[in-house]
Amino acid sequence: MDIRIYGRKSSNREYLNKYLKGVLQVAGIEDRISVVEDVEKYISMGLTSIPSVRIDNEITLSFTNSIPMKRFARKVAKAILKKHKYGTLNKIMIPTDFSSSSKEALYYAKMLCEQNNTVFELVHVFRPHLHEEDFKTFESGYSSEKLDRLSSRYKKLLLDDLKSDFWIDTTQLTGFAGPSLIGHIESSKPTVVIMGTKGENESKKWFGSVSLQVALQASRPVLLVPPGGGMDLPKRILISVGDEAKWDDGFEFLIRMAKRCDAEIHLAYMGNNKVPMLDYDLKKLWSRHYPKDKISTLFLTGNENSSQLLAFAKKHQYGLIVSQRRKDNWLHRMTSENVNKSLAIKTVMPILII
């Protein structure tokens, strides 16, 4: 990416240059910022004010005295980050239908905010319908004006009490909600997707089933927040594991989340027979990524099922249940999908499906 700052040396230009370099460093994006002081060059380009920024010879942004330099610098930084899909920043995607359930997911995401290395993406889907008279499709749902107002309100909810730099992006998709969201997740690859359950649209109660569809089919971690279940961050996390000590890429987010909450991690294996050495293997594997004194293992007798796991979690006051989409073979895949589906429907506490 080629980033050029046009303008003579000034406090504004120096601030802009320093700010952009800092943002790129945090986002893990290669610093390719150059400064152009030749007056003839930026006059020939038609630039009417300085400093101005040119990004890949495509986007030109110019500073004016009508806005503070800090706001202009953030505007430029966001344009750069969007072109790079926000680099290595933690990307928290929040699909929303602007219902009370979606707000709960928003508040939970807000609590997880890791300040200046986090970007929130609010995603709303228009659902297409067939016109009864001429059989033409049209976009129903919210008008663009109302959607902008609702998005602004959600941004304000995120901004409250958050004093450090972080980023908010909005995306509008058209199509059927489940497939549209899953396709967007595959292309944008967020760190985690956070959704409320049992949400309802103003015109139709369909969003709750969408959260289940996304949780089961998306390839990225999906955190479901049930009504009333996202008031506090977890201090104790129950993780359902298989009969082998395996590491999943989705656990990276879980580890960051656990460290932020300073939570205990309890690894639970369910089965009829305890697997020899599994306790040792699990502790050895997880202690590479998390403090050993905060990790413990549990063996729950019985077949792998959601009711037993939920009852245990509720009895011992866990704040989060973690389950995996197991794809070892068709039997594991079918079993884990049934368990995850049941967990997502019945849970009264947040559940993270990896």
Residue 76's domain spans which residues?
A: 3-83
Which comes out higher in pLDDT, residue 250 or 140? 250
323 shares its domain with 297: yes
Whether residue 73 is found in the same domain as residue 94: no
Do both 96 and 196 map to the same domain?
yes
pLDDT band at 143 (very low <50, low <70, confident <90, very high): low
Residues 99 and 221 in one domain: yes
327 and 296, same domain (yes or no): yes
Provide the domain count of the chain: 3
Task: Specify if 231 maps to a domain.
Answer: no
In angstroms, the Cα distances linking 240 to 207, 210, 343 are 27, 24, 11
**Structural element, H or E, at residue 346:** helix 330-346
Judge contact between 208 and 176, C-beta under 8 A. no
Residue 132: per-residue pLDDT: 41
Q: Which helix (H) or strand (E) segment is 17 a member of? A: helix 11-26
Rounded to an integer, what distance in angstroms lies between the CA atom of residue 165 and that of residue 157? 15
Kindly write down the DSSP assignment for every residue of 26-89, as one continuous string.
HTT----EEEE--HHHHHHTT--SSSEEEETTTEEEE--TTS-HHHHHHHHHHHHHHHTTTTTS
Res. 341: pLDDT tops 60: yes
* Entry pTM: 0.82
Question: What is the percent of the chain where pLDDT is above 90?
Answer: 32
pLDDT tens for 34-57 read: 999 988 887 888 887 889 999 988
Instruction: Report the mean per-residue pLDDT for the chain.
Output: 81
Q: What is the pLDDT of residues 220-260, one digit of tens each?
A: 999 999 988 877 889 999 998 876 777 777 788 899 899 98
Output the pLDDT for position 51. Answer: 92
From its phi and psi, is residue 118 left (phi > 0), alpha (psi between -120 and 50) or beta?
beta
What pLDDT does 332 receive? Answer: 56
Range in 62-76, 127-141, 171-185 the model is least confident about: 127-141
Range with lowest mean pLDDT among 124-128, 215-219, 254-258, 287-291? 124-128
Mean of pLDDT values over 314-337: 75
* pLDDT at position 77: 93
Is residue 259 a part of any domain in this protein?
yes
More confident residue, 139 or 255: 255
> What is the DSSP annotation of 185-230?
HHHH--SEEEEESS---SS---HHHHHHHHHHH-SS-EEEE-TT--
Least confident piece of the model among 64-73, 75-84, 128-137, 325-334: 128-137
Final residue of a structural domain among 54, 83, 112: 83
Give the pLDDT score at 181: 95
Residues in the chain: 354
Per-residue pLDDT, averaged over 8-25, amounts to: 93
Q: Minimal CA–CA distance to 7: which of 20, 17, 21?
A: 17
Report the b/e string of 205-218 with b at 16+ CB within 10 A.
eebbebbbbbbbbb
Beta pairing, strands 90-95 & 264-271? unpaired
Same domain for 117 and 57:
no
Query: Residue 131's pLDDT is what?
Result: 46
Q: Is the pLDDT of residue 213 over 80?
A: yes
Bridge partners (DSSP) of residue 120 are: 92, 168
Report whether pLDDT(13) > 80: yes
Task: Report if residue 209 sits inside a domain.
Answer: yes
CATH of the domain at 212: 3.40.50.620
Predicted local confidence at residue 155, as pLDDT: 66
Q: Which of 169, 198, 225 is the last residue of a domain?
A: 225
CA distance 309 to 335: 14
User: For position 20, which CATH number holds?
Assistant: 3.40.30.10
Asked if residue 230 belongs to a domain, the reply is no
